[in-house]
Amino acid sequence: MSGRNERARRRLAYFLLARLKLKRVVGYLHPRTALALISGFNGALSIALLAAIAMLTQEPFIFPSVGASAFILFYRPLVPAASPRNVLIGHAIGVLSGWFSLWIFGLLGAPSAFDVGMDGMRVAATAVGMGLTCALMVWLRAAHPPAAATSLLVSMGLISSLWHLPLLLAGASILVLQAFVMHRIAGVKYPYWSPQSPDGE
């Protein structure tokens, strides 16, 4: 799998440098340096796109854990955790588990842990949210590590409005769409939906 990911990263790097009319640069750069530049470019582009949408709409289309998702999608596009299924289902699990933990401990609408600090109820909420997220991702074979951070983001009360939860998933969907387009144009066999390994793990 690591060899396939390395070839995928090289294809994407070559494609982007060719589009920028910088193909000759590949001959002068160490392959890891070229890949680092392309990974940095894609990460910056992803976050700039989501941040611009958030700025225009004044809605939370961007959130910290999507940065970790962007890294996986562009650095290791063929691992199961980077598949559209795992990214979207993983973040959905994180969002819903975090919100459920707020609900069962009566913390919906309460100030975030960053505003008022941790107390016993918040400790319980973050633990339950994280436990549910980990268990459900394994049970549903939809492991996506950044989704664990999404669960914490919600269960710590940084985003607790039910209306904002679909927007978090919309942000993850936009990221996946960008990754799909970039990889497919570059000739990388990024999956349409499911991981390429049979068990998704």
* pLDDT of amino acid 38: 78
Percent residues over pLDDT 70 in the chain: 82
d(CA 141, CA 62) in angstroms, rounded, equals 25
Q: How many CA atoms lie within 13 A of 49 on its CB side?
A: 19
> What sign does the CA torsion over 19, 23, 29, 34 have?
positive
Dist. CA 51–CA 28, nearest whole Å: 33
Query: Could you tell me the pTM of the whole model?
Result: 0.84
Q: Which of 3-17, 66-80, 145-159, 175-189 has the lowest mean pLDDT?
A: 3-17
Bigger pLDDT: 62 vs 123 = 123
pLDDT band at 14 (very low <50, low <70, confident <90, very high): low
- Looking at the predicted structure, is the pLDDT value of residue 201 above 60? no
Confidence of residue 135 (pLDDT cuts 50, 70, 90): very high
pLDDT at 40 over 90: no
Query: Does residue 17 carry a pLDDT above 80?
Result: no
Mean pLDDT across 126-137: 98
Specify the DSSP class assigned to residue 1: -
Q: What is the DSSP string of 7-29?
A: HHHHHHHHHHHHHTT-HHHHHHS
> Looking at the predicted structure, is the pLDDT value of residue 103 above 90?
yes
pLDDT at 185 over 90: no
Residue predicted with more confidence, 93 or 188: 93
| Alpha carbons 126 and 157: distance in angstroms, whole number | 9
pLDDT band at 60 (very low <50, low <70, confident <90, very high): confident
- Give the CA distances from residue 4 to residues 7, 35, 78, 79, 164, in Å, rounded to whole numbers and listed in that order: 5, 14, 7, 9, 37
- Residue 176, pLDDT > 60, answer yes
CB 178 within 8 A of CB 96: no
pLDDT at 45 over 70: yes
Residue 23 has pLDDT above 90, yes or no: no
- How confident is the prediction for the chain on average, in pLDDT? 86
pLDDT tens digits along 66-84: 999 999 998 888 999 999 9
